[in-house]
A and B are shown apart, each in its own frame.
Chain A
């Protein structure tokens, strides 16, 4: 009996044959160690480049040393992820990974070569708890739909695939630039570039057994040609249970947004705002490739795309959930969108972080890999870049970014040599919130930069004055001063003068500093202490009985319960 062990893509698709017997356990142990090593050692020397940035790289795994392009990454469950990609010889692959919630562990679980001819322009979606549908360009660049089941452990089973000879060729002419969305529990809708690279929308139903049925498709002769000029670089999102919105590159390579409704019972497609109806939105009159559209807030959508000179842009729109009407908010057509990278911004992959934050993976200068975060106001009128990290100084293309947990993200991308990588990042939500506050005129407290304490001691015998000093400098990266655990005891004598000097900065002009005080001599509140002054407490609940408050407008407030100072 022969045992065939496929070591996956970690070591050049190495296939190992071994007689079954007592060596089986040893082989399993070796496999486990190799998988662990794949996390620890297969890290290119140039990829870890945190440099104090708030976006931090956590772990990376080179899952395919031969090729890993046209990535489409989706979450299976809390720690399992599925990736459709173009691998060796441009064939189509599905791989699964377990990724810990903190991003520190990435382990490849299973790999399936589902198409031995071609596997480009992948778009993978979850249909139900264990069923996944993939739209891709297969043999002859024609359009195909395949289905798989993926269990909670990440084990993949082909259901209708080219490798099984039973998948659906939905477009027998052309099927590139795919973008697939789930409309409801059984219906999926696909935007793609079909015949003559025109724009098409097709629909399919996928039953609980993962069987595919073409509903409105080119193969059925009844799908919707929504753009008769061009329909490339598609990014489709669901607006509600019956409405979908599409960002794409249309006539003259310009940027357009269109909307459609999909009947929840019949999966019939109706154009609402489209080129074919002459009423869609041309948001960029120059060009719009590498589109990535996401839902930000109730009716606000953000689009990352590439325009003139391959520069990267973010635009915002509102789409009415009832009427599917599209309104430009910040766009090139209005002259107010955000150019997020003036050098290059291609292979965009945008994800929503929360109601006003988005994260973008893209290919920037010199084809390097970047991650940026942006805050977007609820009405879409404000787009502000928060952070930017160059995560791969070699190559970072064919990005597909997904959220792992509240502050952890996983990116599938192709690095040097077209190799396939998975990398995890953390983007601290607190940091984003803090940056969000920059939208407000002044929501930041002053910051201490330096504290000096000088003790001046007169010596009555010698008539000399001696001075001792302590000086602290503080980090400006934190909203409040961080002192650490080191406490300096200062001892003086009666008759000594203690001078405390505070040096600070603020996010607005320093002329708006209005109050400052110093508080000491903390005691249990004396019964006869005037309550007007008894409101400055230490962490033990003791009250300051000696303090001085400076007020820019008004008299200074001086209090000394025990007559300790003059």
Chain B
């Protein structure tokens, strides 16, 4: 996960159709970005978000979406994870590999 990026744009100038002026007579937005690179499949699941202010007022809600990571994980040969390499060979090539294997070498 990449570090979150926070951008605060806040000023004392009111803009028409812009954000409502707050009790500190400021208008603006707080933007936070979360980045995640998915390496493995993930079943359909919710995504919840939470924001808290200095005085402990907060919301924690499920976003109106579900997230699913489908398919096989990418081949990363230096990955410590178990990889489904076998499925990337077609049947003919796999048969040739097996028939040529003499059992003298052990993998991994």
Which residues of A come within 8 Å of B, CB atoms? 438, 441-449, 451, 453, 460, 470, 472, 476, 480-481, 483-484, 486-522, 536, 538-539, 544, 546, 548-550, 556, 558, 560, 562-566
B67: which A residues are within 8 A, CB to CB?
490, 492, 498, 520
B34, B40, B47: the one contacting A564 at CB < 8 Å is B40
- B65 x A510 contact (CB < 8 A): no
A438: which B residues are within 8 A, CB to CB?
23
**Known contacts A441-B55, A446-B51, A517-B49; A486 and B8 CB within 8 A of each other:** no
A546 to B39, CA, bound (A): 12
Q: How far is the CB of B24 from chain A (nearest CB, A)?
A: 5
- A486 x B68 contact (CB < 8 A): no
A566 to B38, CA, bound (A): 7
A445: which B residues are within 8 A, CB to CB?
51, 53, 57-59
B24, B71, B74, B81: the one contacting A563 at CB < 8 Å is B81
- A472 x B10 contact (CB < 8 A): no
- A503 x B31 contact (CB < 8 A): yes
B48: which A residues are within 8 A, CB to CB?
518-520, 536, 538, 544
Indicate if B22 sits at the interface (CB-CB under 8 A).
Answer: yes
- B1 x A565 contact (CB < 8 A): yes
Indicate if B54 sits at the interface (CB-CB under 8 A).
Answer: yes
- A512 x B54 contact (CB < 8 A): yes
**Known contacts A446-B30, A513-B53, A550-B32; A519 and B39 CB within 8 A of each other:** no
**Residue in B closest to A512 when the chains form the complex, CB atoms:** B54
A481: which B residues are within 8 A, CB to CB?
59, 61
B24, B39, B55: the one contacting A494 at CB < 8 Å is B39
* Extra pairs beyond A446-B53, A510-B10, A538-B62 (4, CB < 8 Å): A446-B51, A488-B66, A495-B74, A546-B36
**Residue in B closest to A472 when the chains form the complex, CB atoms:** B64
**Known contacts A496-B69, A505-B20, A513-B30; A486 and B50 CB within 8 A of each other:** no
**Residue in B closest to A566 when the chains form the complex, CB atoms:** B37
A519: which B residues are within 8 A, CB to CB?
47-50
A489: which B residues are within 8 A, CB to CB?
44, 65-66, 68
A483: which B residues are within 8 A, CB to CB?
61-64
Q: How far is the CB of A332 from chain B (nearest CB, A)?
A: 27
- A503 x B55 contact (CB < 8 A): no
**Residue in A closest to B10 when the chains form the complex, CB atoms:** A510
Indicate if B99 sits at the interface (CB-CB under 8 A).
Answer: no
Q: How far is the CB of A278 from chain B (nearest CB, A)?
A: 45
Q: How far is the CB of B8 from chain A (nearest CB, A)?
A: 5
- B49 x A470 contact (CB < 8 A): no
Chain B contact patch, size range: 35 or more
B24: which A residues are within 8 A, CB to CB?
508-509
Indicate if B104 sits at the interface (CB-CB under 8 A).
Answer: no
B6, B30, B66: the one contacting A506 at CB < 8 Å is B30
A500 to B69, CA, bound (A): 15
- A520 x B47 contact (CB < 8 A): yes
- A494 x B40 contact (CB < 8 A): yes
Indicate if B105 sits at the interface (CB-CB under 8 A).
Answer: no
Q: How far is the CB of A229 from chain B (nearest CB, A)?
A: 46
Ordered by A's residue number, 25 sampled pairs between the chains whose C-beta atoms are within 8 Å are A445-B51, A448-B59, A449-B19, A476-B20, A481-B61, A484-B64, A486-B64, A495-B38, A495-B73, A497-B38, A499-B36, A501-B31, A504-B29, A505-B19, A506-B30, A508-B54, A508-B55, A511-B10, A512-B53, A513-B51, A520-B47, A536-B48, A548-B34, A562-B42, A564-B38
**Residue in B closest to A489 when the chains form the complex, CB atoms:** B66
| CB within 8 Å of A: which B1-27 residues | 1, 3-4, 6, 8, 10, 19-20, 22-24, 26
- B46 x A538 contact (CB < 8 A): yes
**Known contacts A504-B30, A538-B48; A498 and B53 CB within 8 A of each other:** no
- B40 x A563 contact (CB < 8 A): yes
A453, A476, A563: the one contacting B39 at CB < 8 Å is A563
A544 to B63, CA, bound (A): 14
A556: which B residues are within 8 A, CB to CB?
3-4
- A492 x B68 contact (CB < 8 A): yes
- A500 x B1 contact (CB < 8 A): no
A566 to B74, CA, bound (A): 13
A486 to B3, CA, bound (A): 30
Sorted nearest first, the 6 A-B pairs with minimum C-beta distance are A512-B54, A483-B64, A550-B4, A445-B57, A510-B30, A515-B52
A518 to B34, CA, bound (A): 7
A493: which B residues are within 8 A, CB to CB?
38, 69-71
- B29 x A510 contact (CB < 8 A): yes
Q: How far is the CB of A536 from chain B (nearest CB, A)?
A: 7
**Known contacts A502-B32, A539-B62; A558 and B68 CB within 8 A of each other:** no
A481 to B49, CA, bound (A): 11
A79 to B42, CA, bound (A): 58
- B4 x A504 contact (CB < 8 A): no
